[in-house]
Structure 1
Amino acid sequence: MKKIWLTDTTLRDGSHSVSHQYSIDQAVTIAKALDDAEIDIIEISHGDGLAGSSLQYGFSKATDNDLIKEVSGVIKNSKLAVLILPGIGTSADLEIARKYGAEVARVATHVTEADVSQQHIKVAKSMGMKTVGFLMMVHMAPVENLVEQAKLMESYGADIVYCTDSSGALLPDGVKERITALKENLSVDIGFHAHDNLNLAIGNSLAAIEAGATYVDCSLNGAGAGAGNARTESLVAVLKKSGYETNADLYKTLDTAEKVFRKIVPEATRPNDLTLMLGYAGVYSSFLLHTYKAAEKFHVDPREILVELGKRKVVGGQEDSIIEVAYEMSQKK
């Protein structure tokens, strides 16, 4: 049975679930436990990637550089990864992250905008980093377009190309179709990142693996934007029960989720009606908290905001549209 490599995103995507307020001590504690459980890759940064700490995306409690520096000093088994979105983070941010100990660069773009990743992928490769092309919101493009964009990232030097269900909008058949197409048309490894907005993160991750993905993302207790990601502890158990090979130690992973992470974040990400609507409407998972605030401010139904955002095909970086939609709805009341 093939080997599956796990990237735990608790300290990056999971940052959304704590409004980016991880302290350095908390990050170090979580990272040490994940490292001891032999999780392959640990991702860390602001939830919106390097340099994401801002008025628009939310300010972090600790800087990316401090988090990277301190965490890289305590892990021995895992590789440390960072996420960077061109237009938010710069090549200079990536170079500093490398200086402080990051070994894996995950360069993320919208599914139709792979061309903006070229500079960052090449910079990461030039510094000897394992480099991932991270195509987001994949439900918004036809499969043939996804393949075209993935080929661009491969041509720039990406070692792995990810199919990222940022809205948690895909069903298992849609996952299989996309991963199969990438597997058939690319020579690099394929990865998958799920969100649990339709409560399908584990099922979709397994569907991706069955279709050929060998890298899969997860987070402790599912912490992440929207309803969160595939639960690390659940995914490790499912992989072992299914006969897949993985480096992760099941009992240590369970202990990390229950005895370490839950003590730091007692109220971990929980699915609810609004996170389900993110998946139903196909809206970017990190829009959740912004939508809550806009609905409260303008006294409108947050579910209707999400449906309208989905109709308008709003993507990450267009958070201002949430306010616009909420305001327009309030004027019709």
Structure 2
Amino acid sequence: MTVNILDVSLRDGSHSVRHAFTADQVREAAKGMNAAGVRYFEVSHGDGLGGSSLQYGLSATDELKLIEAAAGECTTSEVAVLLIPGIGTKGDLQAAVKAGAKMVRVATHVTEADVAAQHIQLGRELGLKTAGFLMMSHMASVEEIVKQASLFESYGAEIVYVTDSAGAMLPKDVTERICALKQTLQCEIGFHAHNNLSMAMANTVAAVEAGATFIDGSLRALGAGAGNTQTEVMVAVLEKMGYETGIDLYELIDTANNVIAPIMQQPQEITGGSLILGHSGVYSSFLLHAQKAAKQFGVHERDILKQIGKLKAVGGQEDLIYEVAQDLAR
């Protein structure tokens, strides 16, 4: 069985480096992944196209320049982008295609797939490999995920992703969701993990064994929270399990060590804050915002995150982090 690996180092990893990627860094990473045979890798602001803002974090370099830099190094690889309706627009997607994007993943909260119809349809019209991305999938029942995934497929999605944005799932949760989608949908199924409970690799293996054929990872686990499934490790594990990835492991390790590692501001590890993300089911990109708010208001980041989890906050509610911190300070 062939498993398609999509690397998110240059998108999810943007959160970890505070959206400070340079065109040269992206170019070198793209060159290495292309040489290693990574079929797809994602390039954009951490919160997707159009994400550069005061609320989500300003990008040091325009994302269209980063997409152009990456696309210029691709001979066999293809550049993917993330688009969250309400943050990115159809115009942003059209501009990304002109810059060299060949794939789009349209992301919504797990119960809001209906807001993505026009964006998925546009992706297909533009000739892109088009996927639906169900964020915070731990927050919905299996039945609800099937319902929302079916909407994505009806709009034209060629792949539907179960996305563990909070790193809150256990392998049985992943297996139940992937199996249910395999039994219901005709399109391919993908899985995106975060490592906040140290379960990213186990969850990835569970997804593949349940029938997922598109799997995300990031080199050196560079991503929001405690990071993602580590791409180079995942390739090695899948090869030992007998799956085909089409990736040169040695080339991938060299890119991880020589290109990605020097970019990282700190090693990707499970800190107390990232552990609370997974334990409380909080969106992984909230970690740096919580750390900033904790310092600003003199409270502990874990108290902020625990309260955010109780409020069931989702992506786009970053302002709530500062309100909670202010309330705790009082």
What is the deviation of 1:266?
6.1
Percent sequence identity is 55
What SS does structure 2 have at the residue aligned with 1:192? strand
| 1:34 corresponds to | 33
Shift of 1:75: 1.1
d(CA) in 2 for partners of 1:302, 1:113 = 29
| Alignment check: 8 A CA contact 1:17 1:268 kept | no
Q: Secondary structure at the match of 2:285?
A: helix
Say whether the 8 Å CA contact 2:104–2:131 is kept in structure 1: yes
- 1:210 correspondence with 2:240: no
What is the CA distance between 1:264 and its match in structure 2? 3.0
Matched residue pairs, number? 330
CA–CA separation in structure 1 for the residues paired with 2:12 and 2:326: 29
1: distance between equivalents of 2:31 and 2:265?
Answer: 19
- 1:177, 1:17 → 2: CA distance? 30
- The answer for the alignment partner of 1:56 in structure 2 is 55
Q: Which residue of 1 aligns with 2:260?
A: 261
The separation in 1 between residues aligned to 2:231 and 2:267, in whole angstroms, is: 13
CA contact (8 A) 1:222 1:231 kept: yes
- Distance in 2 between residues matched to 1:266 and 1:58, nearest whole Å: 16
5+ unaligned residues in a row in structure 1: which ranges? none
Q: Is the 8 A contact 2:222 2:264 kept in 1?
A: no
Verify the 8 A CA contact 1:83 1:108 in the aligned structure 2.
yes
Secondary structure (helix, strand or coil) at the match of 2:160 reads strand
Q: Which amino acid aligns with 1:90?
A: T
Distance between the aligned counterparts of 1:268 and 1:13, measured in 2?
A: 15
Q: Distance in 2 between matches of 1:244 and 1:302?
A: 40
Counterpart of 1:319 in structure 2 is 318
Report the 3-state secondary structure (helix = DSSP H, G, I; strand = E; otherwise coil) of the residue aligned with 2:9: strand
State how far apart, in whole Å, the 2-side matches of 1:301 and 1:93 are: 37
Runs of 4+ in 1 over 2 A off after TM superposition: 263-270
Contact 1:225–1:288 (Cα < 8 Å) also in 2: yes
What's 1:182 paired with? 181
- Please report the TM-score for the alignment, with normalisation by the length of structure 1: 0.98
TM-score when normalising by structure 2: 0.99
2:224–2:284 CA contact under 8 A, matched in 1: yes
Shift of 1:330: 1.4
| 1:244-303 C-alpha deviation (Å, 9 max, x unpaired) | 111111111111111221133363422211101100000000000110011111211211
Structure 1 residue 174: Cα displacement: 0.5
Q: How far apart are 1:225 and its partner, in Å? A: 0.5
Equivalent position SS for 1:15:
helix
Q: CA deviation at 1:5?
A: 0.1
